């Protein structure tokens, strides 16, 4: 049997900040069709491959998964058992995207490609968040209550990234592809790596959320620094060897004179 709507809402409110708890309020007050319209329109803004409304309506699994989730969540909030989970299971079968019926998804969320995306029961996803394939918004341990992440508004979660546990991801955060986020991330940060570390803490108003190639590569930076240091040490060693070769004949001459 699913937990009561009041229980879930109370648990979320205790763990999410003001900006993110609004997702719960929006889903209870906004019109079901209006949410789907936001989900539909954002695809044309975020995906240059979207050519016409028929293509988006029939060929975008991320949109299909969100449509079915909206229905499952609507039923779940009305304490209808089993059917929401069956709808969620159908969505996973059709789209490869698994979203628990209790998860709170804001308006205008875009799941691009989507295969392998998993969004857990107590996860909250803010408005206009962009999620790529292979993303996991998962829990840690077996504790009850809020155990999945809260994602702020206008965030970007790169392909293959995992955001785990009851942590807060701020507004306009960018998570690099393949990263594993285990701690809170303040707004306007860019995090990359395993475990994810912040590489930028300022808002970039010119960067598009689609420009993943401009994300800093922390590991590559460290490797380049190490290679530069090795080259520097090799040059120093070469100089020492040359100096020792020059001094060697002098030492031999002094020895013979003695």
Where are the chain's structural domains? 5-214, 217-258
- For residues 171 and 127, what is the distance between their CA atoms, to the nearest angstrom? 10
* pLDDT score recorded for residue 150: 96
Cβ–Cβ under 8 Å, residues 180 and 165: no
Q: What pLDDT sits at residue 204?
A: 58
Q: What is the pLDDT of residue 211?
A: 57
Tell me the CATH number for domain 5-214.
2.160.10.10
Structure confidence at residue 161 (pLDDT): 94
pLDDT averaged over 10-residue windows placed end to end, the chain, 258 residues: 44 44 47 87 88 90 94 92 94 95 94 93 94 93 87 94 95 92 93 87 60 61 82 88 70 57
Q: Which DSSP state fits 185?
A: B
Angle among Cα 235, 236, 241 to the nearest 5 degrees reads 95
**Structure tokens belonging to residue 103:** 């998860």
* CB contact burial 104-142 (16+ within 10 A = b; e otherwise): bbbbbbbbbbbeebbbbbbbbbbbbbbbbbbbbbbbeee
Residue carrying structure tokens 């016409």: 52
pTM of the full structure: 0.72
pLDDT of residue 13: 43
């Amino acid at each position: 049997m699913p937990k009561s709507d009041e229980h879930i809402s109370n648990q979320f409110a205790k763990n999410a900040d003001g900006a993110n708890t609004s997702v719960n309020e929006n889903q209870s007050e906004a019109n079901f069709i209006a949410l789907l319209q936001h989900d539909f329109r954002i695809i044309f803004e975020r995906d240059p491959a979207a050519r016409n409304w028929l293509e988006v309506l029939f060929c975008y699994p991320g949109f299909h998964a969100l449509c079915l989730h909206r229905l499952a969540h609507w039923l779940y909030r009305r304490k209808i058992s089993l059917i929401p989970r069956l709808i969620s299971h159908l969505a996973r079968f059709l789209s490869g995207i698994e979203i628990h019926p209790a998860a709170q998804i804001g308006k205008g969320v875009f799941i691009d490609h989507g295969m392998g995306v998993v969004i857990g029961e107590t996860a909250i996803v803010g408005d206009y968040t962009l999620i790529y394939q292979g993303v996991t918004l998962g829990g840690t341990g077996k504790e009850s209550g809020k155990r999945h992440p809260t994602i702020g508004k206008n965030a970007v979660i790169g392909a293959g990234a995992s955001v785990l546990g009851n942590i807060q991801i701020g507004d306009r955060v960018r998570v690099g592809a393949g990263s594993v986020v285990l701690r809170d991330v303040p707004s306007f940060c860019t995090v990359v790596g395993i475990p994810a570390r912040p590489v930028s803490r300022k808002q970039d108003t010119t960067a598009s959320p689609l420009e993943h190639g401009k994300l800093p590569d922390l590991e590559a930076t460290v490797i380049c620094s190490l290679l530069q240091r090795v080259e520097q040490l090799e040059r120093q060693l070469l100089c020492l060897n040359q100096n020792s070769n020059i001094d060697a004949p002098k030492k031999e001459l002094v020895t013979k004179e003695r």
